[in-house]
Amino acid sequence: MRFRSRLVVDLAQLGTNVSLLKEQYDHHQILFMVKADAYGHGMVSIVRYAVCELAIKEFGCATIGEALTLRTELPDLEFDIYVFSDVQIELQVCTELYLHRRIIPVISNRQDLEFLLEHNDFRHFPLILKFNTGMNRLGINDDQVSDVIRMIKKSGRSSIYHLMTHFATADEDLAQHTLGIKQQNVFENLVREFQTQGIQIERTSRANSGALEQLAGFQDSHIRPGLLLYGPHSVKPDLREKSWWRGQLLSQLETYIINVFKVKKGDTIGYGATHVQNDGVIAVIALGYGDGFSTRYQGVTLKHAGHNGVVMGRVNMDMAQVFFPLQAFEDLKVGEKFVIWNHEVEPFMNLAQQSQTLTYELFCQLSSRVPRIHQLRT
Ligand SMILES: Cc1ncc(COP(=O)(O)O)c(C=O)c1O
């Protein structure tokens, strides 16, 4: 575990981000996606704060293991957990967890649906169905709707607790993109078809962050934000200008300088002996790919004390070298804090772009060696 390289997570900013979202979606319930350790932010602390301070009551995990962690670590809190992708409902160990730990599987295929409808112990369990309307990843295909209606009726049920779908292109203009338009229409038709056939739909959701930035999914009872609540935009640059999102990052990734030395043009540094192109200064920072500061950071610009540095040479397992112009020398001190990203959204978006990584990935790739420190910024 690191000591001074850490991800500082500001829980109060989560409150601000949620308030901003509610200004637009005031009649909607939030199903907050906290999979992958809350996108790397420390799931247990995030959920505790969201339940206790922000009155969020529904959370989305990818795996039953994540859901179990929440139930185990937060035994006294009242909230629902949905498992979205790694459901494994037929495994006895998982069946028991669903039944006894109040974890709800999102049903995305016919076999799982059949199992849930036919298993006597699940007869009072909420039925949550995810349909594939064009994402082509998970989800029951929309052409199976008649079959699904027949199966539901045969089981003696007359309602679906939550019907959902997921967009493939929410980062693009949903009102213009052929697939975006198709997905919305298919989902509307599905809702209508169920209702026409006498199946009541209690809740619906479709909008993830990109869709929310475009104010889609108003007709639903629920919204399913992930990335947006952690701060960044989710839509592509041309749509960002039109986006109403003004949230900030919850997190600041910080490390410190463990060595500083001057170099001359032609000197070599680190593994692979990268040649330095100009005279300057190298600051060695205490983050490497063992921390999730991946080799993709090579070549990106990082600011320190008003100077622009460039990650130079090969990122190592435990360290990375940042090259600065000579005039930065006086401002680079061993032991000083060095910030990779702060709460500002734009520099973080640039970091993702420069390292050709998804913003999602910058968060998620941070390893367990980097402690997540949860604070309330004052
Ligand atoms: C089914 C589902 N809904 C919602 C989300 C949240 O997406 P985002 O983080 O883009 O808001 C995800 C994340 O991938 C998801 O898989």
- Over residues 58-82, the pLDDT tens digits come to 999 999 999 999 999 999 999 999 9
pLDDT at 285: 98
What pLDDT is stored for residue 377 in this prediction? 73
Predicted pLDDT at 378 = 59
* 165 within ligand 1 shell (Cβ under 6 A): no
Closest by CA to 63, choosing from 84, 46, 40, is 84
Query: How far does residue 240's CA lie from ligand 1's centre (Å)?
Result: 18
For ligand 1, whether the C-beta of 33 sits within 6 Å is yes
210 Cα to the center of ligand 1, angstroms? 9
Spell out the residues 6+ positions from residue 196 whose beta carbon is closer than 8 angstroms to its own.
Answer: none
From CA 132, how far away is CA 108, in angstroms rounded? 8
- Ligand 1 in reach of 359 Cβ (< 6 A): no
Q: What is the reported pLDDT for 62?
A: 98
Tell me the longest C-alpha to C-alpha distance in the chain: 78
For residue 306, how far is its CA from the centre of ligand 1 (angstroms)? 36
Q: Which residues of the chain, if any, have pLDDT below 70? A: 378
Contact 301, 347 (CB under 8 A): no
Looking from the CA of residue 164, the nearest atom of ligand 1 is 1
Q: Ligand 1 centre from 3 Cα, in Å?
A: 32
Tell me if 108 CB under 6 Å of ligand 1: no
Distance (angstroms) between ligand 1 centre and the Cα of 134 equals 15
pLDDT of 174? 95
Q: Which atom of ligand 1 is nearest to the CA of 212?
A: 11
Separation between Cα atoms, residue 232 and residue 252, nearest integer Å: 13
- Our answer on whether the CB atom of 234 is closer than 6 Å to any ligand 1 atom is yes
